[in-house]
Amino acid sequence: MALDTLDLSVFIALAVAVLAYLAKQKLFPTKDDSGFLPASSNSGRNLLETIKRNGKNTLVFYGSQTGTAEDYASKLSKELSSRFGLKSMTVDFSDYDFDNFGDIPNDILCFYLVATYGEGEPTDNANEFVEWLENEADNLSSLKYTVFGLGNSTYEFYNSMGRKLNEKFEELGAERFATYGEGDDGKGTLDEDFLTWKESVFDTLKNELDFEEKELTYEPGLKLEESDFLTIDDSEVSLGEPNKSYITGTKDLSKGPFDHSHPYLAQITKSRELFTSNDRSCVHIEFDISNSNLRYSTGDHLAVWPSNSNENIETFIKAFGLESKNDTVFQLKKLDPTIAIPFPTPITYGAVIRHHLEISGPVSRQFLSAIASFAPDDASKQRANKIGNDKAIFAQEITQNLFNIADTLLYVSQGKPWTKVPFEYLIENVAHLQPRYYSISSSSLSEKTTINVTAVIETEKKDNRWVTGVVTNLLKNIEIVQNKSSDKPVVTYDLKGPRGKFSNFKLPVHVRRSTFKLPSNPNIPVILVGPGTGVAPLRGFIRDRIQQKKNGSTIGETLLFYGCRNENEDFLYKEEWPEYAKELGESFEIFTAFSRHDPNKKVYVQHKILEQKDKINKLLESGAFIYVCGDASHMARDVQASFSKILAEGRGISEEKAGELVRSFKVQNRYQEDVW
């Protein structure tokens, strides 16, 4: 029977649809590896099986909070594969169980890159591993390891995690095959410290373990395949949604648990500028959590998920010549099954740049020398190698100019776009955007369904170029638009978000539990020290105590030491303190230090603390708790020294003994710090 014209056209349409469907299935498999899975998913949580199944002989473990250790681990793992032919994989501690950890055979090289967080604590993803190591691990005699610790010497427990792992492994019989290393973010030398350590480890691999070194070449772990079928209008395509649930809509998004892989889209219901100065800015932001089961308790931290500014995106796109690619949809295929696909796919180039890559921070020397092979011409390649291989030139020409990746590459190539860089390379080598943490400035007792944060906006002008912090400028942009303020944003953002999901001033957030907590007995006196935005959680504490008083509790004395530059420009929550004093009565006192009040004499909180030595001494004798929040680099140390001095004088003991006493207060949680 012959087909008539209508039948024929229906048949052709059907055939095209079937072919398109089949091609799409081939290019875009719908099984789970299409995005956002832990690398371990192929072999579950059994590390030994994963190693065996994938033929690995080198493991690069990372304990990472802000993404730096993870970024170092991924670069190191690639370099070990490419330079030494090792079969290397990165390992996120939280992806595996540790019960057979002691059975890792001794022909596997284990690298541990671990950051220390807060008061000498492990990062969230290493928490359980450290607990296991301290309490359960026994014999690790077959483990061959080396450790690099990422720390900050302005903190008291500098690099305690790196040191702990190194010592504990040794104690349990493991064999360190290369030197232990440490990097110091406090001195700003983390990158260089890491490079120095890495070079010494590579020397060991060559000279003592007889590995042959090859020239570094890029061996992709992911393959990017552009789609001929999908567009930004297809509902399965990620336009930058925080995770897959936000694309498929299959989960009730107001229900948790909310954490680093699943945020809540919280609406900012109120925002206001707190400074009155023309050149500095600090915003108070209120997130509404009433329609969710997201909960917090006073003193916790709010993690705010970032996206990049339009201006930084534009320069990045220009640097790599990606102008025509913004809306192109692609899928990623794993060439190495142990590599995790870091965001939901299929996705557009534009969404990756805006929502997933850390494009605006400082660039590392390692990044520049590694990307040199993709330079647009020989002259640029030579310049990239020259700058990337020389610490001093790099510091002078790149670091001191506060260049980001795009600025650096355009500077090196004198404006020529780096079109030879594969986008997979950027996905694998540019750090991924991480949430920023803010000490919550509200009280969970008095406002259960609102989370307040207080953020100082990070902007700096360098030779007519704005260098900007990602999240703080996003918050400022929201504040300006929400209040129809006449302030001009330094940089602007897409406030509507993917598919308009962030409209009405919503941002993805989650809460991180903190140990910075008031004593459970409200009658215990507290001494609160929080200059600048350090006052944020202390405002929450004071609001807690007011609520406790309203609930009938007797409230112990509450001393607040606050400092800023100038009473009339940056005195945070200036109008609120007299209200709190009224509520708490005589038990509340605020002492202020305005550092720029007298041009001949800088006064800081530590001076004000010393002025109150008798009162403080008495309170400490009656069991007062001390809370210090804010700048970790100088303030926390100077404040601690003031308390030691007061204790030494008040108790007639040496300053050394008083210092030990303060440290013992810390151990007993009577001296708590929330510093960054």
Which residues are catalytic, by number? 439, 629, 674, 676
CB under 6 A: which stretch of 26-34, 178-186, 456-464, 580-588 binds ligand FAD? 456-464
Closer residue to ligand FAD (CB): 90 or 468: 468
Q: Is 360 in the site for ligand FAD (CB under 6 A)?
A: yes
Q: Which helix (H) or strand (E) holds 145?
A: strand 144-151
Q: Is 676 in the site for ligand FAD (CB under 6 A)?
A: yes
Closer residue to ligand FAD (CB): 409 or 536: 536
Q: Kindly give, in sequence order, each residue whose CB lies less than 8 Å from that of residue 74, ignoring residues fewer than 6 positions away.
A: 60, 90, 428, 429
Report yes or no: 658 and 623 within 8 Å, Cβ to Cβ: no
Min dist CB 467 to ligand FAD, Å, is 5
Helix 68-84 × helix 190-207 angle, to 10°: 30
For the chain, the distance separating the N- and C-terminal CA atoms, rounded to the nearest angstrom, is 80
- Label the pairing between strands 121-122 and 109-117: antiparallel
- CA dist 139 and 383 (Å) reads 50
Q: Kindly give, in sequence order, each residue whose CB lies less than 8 Å from that of residue 313, ignoring residues fewer than 6 positions away.
A: 350, 353, 354, 359
Q: Which of 126, 201, 467, 507 binds ligand FAD (CB under 6 A)?
A: 467
Q: Is 438 in the site for ligand FAD (CB under 6 A)?
A: yes
List binders of ligand FAD among 274-313 (CB under 6 A). Answer: 301, 306
Q: Is 541 in the site for ligand FAD (CB under 6 A)?
A: no
CB under 6 A: which stretch of 238-246, 469-477, 502-510, 591-599 binds ligand FAD? 469-477
Closer residue to ligand FAD (CB): 129 or 316: 316
Q: Which of 140, 195, 222, 470 binds ligand FAD (CB under 6 A)?
A: 470
Give the total of residues touching ligand FAD (CB under 6 A).
Answer: 26
Backbone angles phi, psi at 271, to 5 degrees: -150, 150
Min dist CB 528 to ligand FAD, Å, is 14
Closer residue to ligand FAD (CB): 384 or 456: 456
Q: Is 361 in the site for ligand FAD (CB under 6 A)?
A: yes
Q: Is 404 in the site for ligand FAD (CB under 6 A)?
A: yes
CA of residue 41 relative to chain centroid, distance: 24
CA of residue 428 relative to chain centroid, distance: 17
- CA dist 177 and 110 (Å) reads 9
Min dist CB 634 to ligand FAD, Å, is 16
Closer residue to ligand FAD (CB): 186 or 220: 186
- CA dist 670 and 166 (Å) reads 30
Q: Is 562 in the site for ligand FAD (CB under 6 A)?
A: no
Cα–Cα separations (whole angstroms), residue 620 to 308, 506, 557, 655, 662: 46, 44, 11, 16, 11
Q: Is 471 in the site for ligand FAD (CB under 6 A)?
A: yes
- Label the pairing between strands 181-184 and 264-273: unpaired
CA angle 103, 105, 108 (to 5 degrees): 130
| 460 CB-contact burial (10 Å; exposed 0-12 / middle 13-18 / buried 19+) | exposed
Closer residue to ligand FAD (CB): 79 or 300: 300
Closer residue to ligand FAD (CB): 236 or 458: 458
Using DSSP, how many helices (H) and how many strands (E) does the chain show? Answer: 21, 23
Q: Which of 454, 548, 606, 672 binds ligand FAD (CB under 6 A)?
A: 454
CB under 6 A: which stretch of 29-37, 285-293, 423-431, 468-476 binds ligand FAD? 468-476
Report yes or no: 591 and 608 within 8 Å, Cβ to Cβ: yes
Residue nearest to ligand FAD (CB): 469
Strand partners, 318: none
Q: Is 395 in the site for ligand FAD (CB under 6 A)?
A: no
CB under 6 A: which stretch of 17-25, 188-196, 199-207, 448-456 binds ligand FAD? 448-456
Q: If DSSP codes are grouped into helix, strand and coil, which group holds residue 453?
A: strand
Min dist CB 485 to ligand FAD, Å, is 19
Q: Is 536 in the site for ligand FAD (CB under 6 A)?
A: yes
Q: Is 437 in the site for ligand FAD (CB under 6 A)?
A: yes
Closer residue to ligand FAD (CB): 159 or 454: 454
Taking every pair of Cα atoms in the chain, the longest distance, rounded to a whole number of angstroms, is 111
The site for ligand FAD (CB under 6 A) is made up of 301, 306, 360-362, 402-404, 436-439, 454-456, 458, 460, 467-472, 533, 536, 676
